[in-house]
Structure 1
Amino acid sequence: MDTHDSDGSKVNSEPSGGEFTTQADLQSDSPETDTSSKSTEQATSNETADTDQLSESQSIEDMLLEFDEQDGLIRDRSLLDPNYVVDEDRIVGRDEQLKQVTKMLRVALGDNRPPNLFLYGPSGTGKSLITKAVCKNISKICDTREIRFGTIEVNCQDLDTLGVAVYELTQQAAEEAGVDVEVPKHGVATKEKWDELYRIVNENFDSVVFVLDELDMLVGRRDKQEPAFSRLLYQLSRASADDALTAHISVVAISNDTKMMESVGSRALSSFTPEDVHFDDYDANQLQSILRRRQDAFYDDVVEDEVIPLAAAFAAQTHGDARKAIDLMRVAGELAEREGDKRVCEEHVREAQDKVEKNRVLEVVRGISTQKKLCLYATAAVAAETKDGTARSSTGYTVYQFLTDSINADQYQQESYVNKMKELTTYSLVDFERRSHGPSSGMFLEFQFGEQPETILETLREDSRIAVVSDDEVQSVVRAQVRNET
């Protein structure tokens, strides 16, 4: 079977027959004998219609200027960007984590090497925000002390090999230092990229913090004995000891996977030896506080009272994700503006919830492979039929087998199915826990969904390869398997 992952679809864009052409055709059948008069009347009719159409329509410039002249509701859109580094008085519910990270990284102020850190916890719980805020303040103080401090940050989500990751670090180091990278991205050994990174750091910095966000995503080639993130940690943490780096460096590894360190090789673990900082979920009250400290993103008195509690409640349902809460506020405000409303109200938040949830799922599933789509669809189909919205890995795999048989796709072993589902946990669509049937029985994984399983199913069925499978048949298979669970 063709397993091409493109989600492109063609839309029939051929123009239909014009209104006036059809009218003229009808008039040609009329018993009128004065064709000259008829033609003149038709031309006049066409000119009048064209004039009316022009008067009713607006140019792009007119529409832009009209929107620009409207009284907007959002005053500062940067505060509604989850990635924007806010002032510390806007950081809520993370006092202990903020204190820990600050205390451990502050030794850079004395031109000393800070310890390595491992920040872990669910998505949207402040890990990246805290790190960026602390490093931003360290940089400000170091400037006054003539200490050349740098923060080199990369998100590992889209980095597929160690070589790509090293080059990305090199580029970010060069950008931070305001210099050029002197090795090409392709066609050179990874060692040359490491050497270039070391050169840039040594020549331009006294102290550097490497921030490796979503580090667990950097798996690398499957034929390697240990994941790429393990080799990256080893190389960075050993660089100073091997005199490759003269600058003081600290590595801050950030992950949603609380068990990531279990996959780090023994050599890397021995040299990395991080201080752990755990970030737990925000509760609804903390999310409300976060949103209230960003409420001045809107003009005064345009956000109705029930908006913030409702947005916080929606976000609290999905692992206490502050990013989602902030996104909900932004989308609700934008919806109110587009509709020309004077205030942001509860209905805008509910509409935003539907939009954000659907868009988030779409963003994820459009970029994943066919096999991951099949795994995700099978598991979501099971979760949609269980009372607690969970899906056992064994049941999900059986449904996956049915799907692959139905569309004649390659069928992987259960271990591969589980691994692909584990990879999807980094998108916060799904999470898992290990469960046992009992003391004398084996273990299994139980998957829980951060979004409504029905939304995931609806989105995945937009893929024509999945849509050919009867929804009723899948549901029948799922229900039979759920009944057989022990």
Structure 2
Amino acid sequence: MASDESDGRDPLFRYDDPIFADERLLEITHLPGPDRIVGRDDQMLRVADALNPAIFGSKPSHLFIFGKTGTGKSLISRSITQRVITEAERDDINVKYAFIDCGEQNTEASIVKTVAQVVNEPERSGVTVPDRGLGTGDYYKRLWDVIDRCTDVTIVILDEIDMLEDDEVLRKLSRAGENRRISDSSIGIVGISNKIDFPDNLSERVKSSLSRDELVFPPYDANQLIDILNKRRDAFHEEVITDEVIPLTAALAAQEHGDARKAIDILRNAGRLAKKRNDARVTEEHVRAAKEKTEADRFSELIEGSPQQAKAILYALTLLTENSTEDEFPTKIIYSQYKQITGRLELDILSERRVQEILQEQNFLNVIQSEREGRGRGRGAHAKHRLLEDPEIVKKVLLRDSRLSMEE
């Protein structure tokens, strides 16, 4: 298409948005101001209390935060840290922070490198931190130099800390001052996880060296979710969303353990759906359709890149769930269904032990939930597994895989 000569704009694109006034307010990466955060007053106070010493250039307390997805853990951690930085600046105290998603960067070297790169001011430190080419020990040396020369306090936020490949980085960061790796600065660690038993799995060396506070974030209830969504209502033009949209979105998300992130995702997807259909308003119908899309998108993200065999095992569990009144199944039953699927798809059949390991991996990734059940005295225990998502959604996502779709 040619450009519109009247104003120089390309007619292929749309330059007005009849639905959204500022869609960025509904992005997961958006950090709302303090006045937009609701239902977390106690948790904000606890996080602020742990980080408060940083305002004066002193070492903050290390803090582990636990809670289900969408309960505000990352949001509050980032928000309070940003406020600490602002307050510290009043007294010329230089506080910096690095936010690391351990789901993406889970090795010791990648974490140390990233923290160093975020904190570094090369003209001040005289240090460069390359993306590659250095060993872990060299990255640590540069990190210590950068922290000492560029900050008074460095706060390291490790989201999904349970995904760490090696927890040695926690020991080295927490003891950097004590071991005289840094002398003019200090480090505070905020670890975030949805697994409350994560500290039990830390190595003994880390357990003995990492003194910390712990904090649990409860799920939001429906009323809190309504407040959260109302605080972001100005993402839409006035009068665009109908009265039932926010209460319905909150109610649907409250059913899923009070997940605010999911509620915001549903609301944004409802708006996008209305715009795609050229509808003037966002309605209850858009919300219900958006819920299904949001769930499918989330599950798709979880299994993105999963091997064919893992998808076949999940498909076996999905078929069992669909065709039974039960919602959890022992490994042996799943294995039997899995062998039928692999036979039809001409996939190699893994051993039952390997299938059990893959199921445990999926449990760790929160794709499914696995629990061990005792068989009775002297008879050991076996694992049972269940889907965490609606089987219809799981099936729809799995069938996007061209090979699995041959099953249909």
Secondary structure of 1:431's counterpart equals strand
| Alpha-carbon distance in structure 1 between the residues aligned to 2:301 and 2:349 | 25
1:180/1:406 CA distance change after superposition, 3 Å: farther
Deviations 1:107-133 (A, max 9, x none): 211221111111112111111001001
Worse-superposed segment, 178-187 or 101-110: 178-187
Q: In structure 2, do the counterparts of structure 1 residues 321 and 193 end up closer, same or farther at CA, with 3 Å as the change threshold?
A: same
Q: Is the 8 A contact 2:113 2:129 kept in 1?
A: no
Identify the match of residue 223 of structure 2 among 239, 260, 285: 285
Residue 239 of structure 1 pairs with residue 185 of structure 2: no
Question: What is the root-mean-square deviation in Å for CA atoms of aligned residues?
Answer: 2.7
Corresponding position of 1:107 = 53
1:123-142 aligned at under 5 Å gives the runs 123-142=69-88
1:165 and 2:111 correspond: yes
Gaps of 5+ in 1: 1-52, 220-227, 472-486
Matched, 1:312 2:250: yes
Map of 1:27 onto structure 2: none
Report matched runs for 1:219-230 at 5 Å: 219=165, 228=166, 230=167
TM-score between the two structures when normalised by the length of structure 2: 0.89
Partner of 1:62: 11
1:157 is paired with a residue whose SS is coil
Distance (Å, rounded) in 1 between the aligned partners of 2:251 and 2:340: 37
> Following TM superposition, by how much is the alpha carbon of 1:154 offset from its aligned partner in structure 2, in angstroms?
0.8
Distance 1:466 1:341, change over 3 A: closer
1:424 aligns with 2:362: yes
User: Partners of 2:182 and 2:193 in 1: how far apart?
Assistant: 25
C-alpha contact (below 8 Å) 1:319/1:450 kept by paired residues: no
| Aligned counterpart for 1:364 among listed residues 267, 290, 302 | 302
Aligned length: 402
Asked if the contact 1:183/1:192 (under 8 Å) is kept, the reply is no
Matched, 1:144 2:82: no
Deviation at 1:276, TM superposition (A): 0.9
- Which of residues 183, 194, 210 in structure 1 aligns to 2:140? 194
Range 95-104 or range 127-136, more displaced: 95-104
Show CA shifts across 1:348-402 (max 9, x none). 1112122222222233333222232233222333333343533434433443344
**Equivalent position to 1:444, from 374, 382, 390:** 382
The structure-2 alpha-carbon separation of the partners of 1:198 and 1:68, relative to structure 1 and needing over 3 Å to count, comes to same
Contact 1:154–1:172 under 8 Å retained in 2: no
Partner of 2:199: 261
- Relative to structure 1, the CA distance from residue 399 to residue 299 in structure 2 (aligned partners, 3 Å threshold; closer, same or farther) is same
What whole-Å deviation, never above 9, does each CA across 1:401-430 have from its counterpart, x for those lacking one?
A: 444455454555555434433443465443
Q: Is the 8 A contact 1:119 1:278 kept in 2?
A: yes
**Inter-partner Cα distance in structure 1 for 2:373 and 2:255:** 22
Contact 1:433 1:447 in 2 (8 A): yes
1:203–1:397 CA distance, 2 compared to 1 (3 A): farther
1:251 is displaced (CA, Å) by: 0.6
Unpaired segments of 5 or more residues in structure 2? 3-7
- The Cα shift of 1:346 comes to 0.5
Q: How far off its partner does 1:254 sit?
A: 0.9
Q: Counterpart in 1 of 2:334?
A: 396
Q: Deviations over 1:193-237 (max 9, x none)?
A: 111111111110011110011122222xxxxxxxx1x11211211
Give the AA of the match of 1:240: G
Describe the SS at the equivalent of 1:61.
Answer: coil
Give the drift of 1:435.
3.4
Deviates more, 1:387-396 or 1:121-130: 387-396
Partner of 1:483: none
> Could you give the per-residue CA deviations for residues 49-79 of structure 1, whole angstroms, max 9, x where no partner exists?
xxxx99xxxx991142xx3245x22112222
Give the 5 Å matches for 1:309-388. Answer: 309-388=247-326
Distance 1:289 1:440 in 2: 52
Contact 2:116–2:129 (CA under 8 A) maintained in structure 1: no
Match of 1:303 in 2: 241
**1:175 Cα shift?**
7.1
- For residues 277 and 343 of structure 1, what CA distance do their matches in structure 2 show? 41
Is the Cα–Cα contact under 8 Å of residues 177 and 204 in structure 1 kept in the other structure? no
- SS in structure 2 opposite 1:152? strand
The 1-side partners of 2:32 and 2:300 are apart by 28
Could you list the per-position Cα deviations for residues 15-62 of structure 1 after superposition, in whole angstroms to 9, with x for gaps in the alignment? Answer: xxxxxxxxxxxxxxxxxxxxxxxxxxxxxxxxxxxxxx99xxxx9911
Q: Which moved more, 1:86-95 or 1:130-139?
A: 86-95
Question: 2:15 is matched by which residue type in structure 1?
Answer: D
Given that 2:121 and 2:150 are in contact with CA atoms closer than 8 Å, whether structure 1 keeps it comes out as no
**CA apart distance, 1:293:** 1.6
Q: Which is greater in Rg?
A: 1
Query: Deviations 1:137-196 (Å, cap 9, x if unpaired)?
Result: 000001111001011111111225322232222222227999786243333221001111
